[in-house]
């Protein structure tokens, strides 16, 4: 399997308070929109992968655990394209 790009999505675990999301939700309300009942924020990283290295998913998962996500309070998922 040859991967060209890996997109890593990092989000706070369920139950972990998301102050940025709360602030955004409040801002949306203050702008006059009453259609949004909750906001959770997250980050994503698009990793351009080197060609011809076979399956890199193991290495990508290591990079996620060690660098991109804080496993204590965050979950991550990876999509390959």
Best CA proximity match to 75, nearest among 42, 48, 50, 51: 42
Q: Which two tokens stand for residue 38?
A: 């909750």
Site string for its own copies, 2-21 (x = CB under 8 A): -------x-x---------x
The CA distance from 22 to 69, in Å, is 21
Among residues 77, 71, 1, the alpha carbon closest in space to that of 43 is found at: 77
Q: Which of 42, 74, 78, 80 binds its own copies (CB under 8 A)?
A: 42
- State which of residues 1, 17, 35, 72 lies at the interface with its own copies (CB under 8 A): 35
* Interacting residues toward its own copies by CB under 8 A: 9, 11, 21, 24, 27-28, 31, 33-50, 53, 56, 59-60, 62-63, 66-68
């Amino acid at each position: 399997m040859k991967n060209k790009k890996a997109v890593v999505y990092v989000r706070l675990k369920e139950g972990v308070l998301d102050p940025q999301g709360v602030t955004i939700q409040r801002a949306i309300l203050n702008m006059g929109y009453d259609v949004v009942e909750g906001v959770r924020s997250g980050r994503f990283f698009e990793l351009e992968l080197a060609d011809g290295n076979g399956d890199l998913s193991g290495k990508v998962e290591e990079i996620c655990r060690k660098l991109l996500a804080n496993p204590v309070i965050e979950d991550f998922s990876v999509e390959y394209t």
